[in-house]
Amino acid sequence: MTQAAIIDGKEFAATLRSRIAGHAASFEAKAGRKAGLAVVLVGEDPASQVYVASKAKQTVECGMASFEHKLPADTAQADLIALIDRLNADPMVDGILVQLPLPGHLDEQAVVERISPDKDVDGLTPISTGRLALGLPGLVPCTPLGSLMLLKDRLGSLSGLNAVVIGRSILVGKPMAQLLLGENCTVTIAHSRTADLPAVVRRADIVIAAVGRPEMVKGDWIKPGATVIDVGINRLPPEEGKTKGRLVGDVDYAEALQVAAAVTPVPGGVGPMTIAVLLRNALVAAHRNAGVALGDETL
């Protein structure tokens, strides 16, 4: 068998951002304002700071307005909730993202639930989750939606395919399963207590790995010709003489290349899609909030 094709998420994300920029310009012309995304960062976690800066940069590059709110780590719950209430009421803000995790003294669930479902670009509020489960229009978590875009670009119709989602988080596993069901896949959600996990994975035409365990999914777990989407991102311990370890996914990439038909790399696969889909969600929300037809709901 020939080596698997590499699914280039970086290239796909760049194409998606280009389409977003075109729609953002059209929205501004029709609505008389830019679509607006507000990002809230509490504390000074270095990784979160880098991620928020990247989101803000790409938001502006796509012709949208970026509103950054950086709060000290000791911010009180009431003050954070008050900020979200102001953003919910602000007609210039179409999307609200609270960077997680929050400092330990804050109630993450209460904070997320305070976000208006119409501005919930992370797709994490109970109403957004319910809309997805019912098949109603709504905002969908970014990483699963980005993964679905990569799958459909690669395979076309997913109808009738067997899909295994490894991981049951509310961020990836559960919404990913709902999206695949919406595409008429037969879906299995596997997890840490699944009996004979390799055998379950081996039945899948589509494998979504989202467990946070470095290179857990081995080549002999994968059905020959399957398509593998690796959502995991893990840093291995540094090798001798190096300060940083390699970034790897939840799939043994080298082994998967010898068995699968197509695989996402780590980095460069699903990761670049997450911010691109965040911008897509903000733009979709802007059109809905302003009562402006998008013209391409498949954006």
* Residue 104 CB neighbours (<10 A): 7
Give me the domains of the chain, ranges plus CATH numbers.
32-117 (3.40.50.10860), 142-272 (3.40.50.720)
Backbone angles phi, psi at 112, to 5 degrees: -60, -45
User: CB–CB of 67/75 below 8 Å?
Assistant: no
**pLDDT at residue 298, rounded to an integer:** 62
Which of 90, 160, 173, 97 lies closest to 129, judged by CA? 173
Q: Can you tell me the mean pLDDT for 158-164?
A: 98
So which residues are the catalytic ones?
A: 55, 99, 122
Strand partners, 164: 188, 207
Backbone angles phi, psi at 21, to 5 degrees: -60, -40
CA distance 65 to 172: 27
- In which band, very low, low, confident or very high, does the pLDDT at 244 lie, cut at 50, 70 and 90? confident
Q: Would you say residue 117 has pLDDT above 70?
A: yes
Q: Would you say residue 297 has pLDDT above 70?
A: no
User: CB–CB of 245/237 below 8 Å?
Assistant: yes
Strand partners, 206: 163, 227
Give the DSSP H/E element, type plus range, for residue 209: strand 206-209
Question: Over the stretch 207-227, which tens digit does the pLDDT of each residue have?
Answer: 999 999 999 999 999 999 999
Name 76's Cβ contacts closer than 8 Å, sequence gap at least 6: none
Question: Among all chains, which residue has been given the structure tokens 């993202």?
Answer: 97
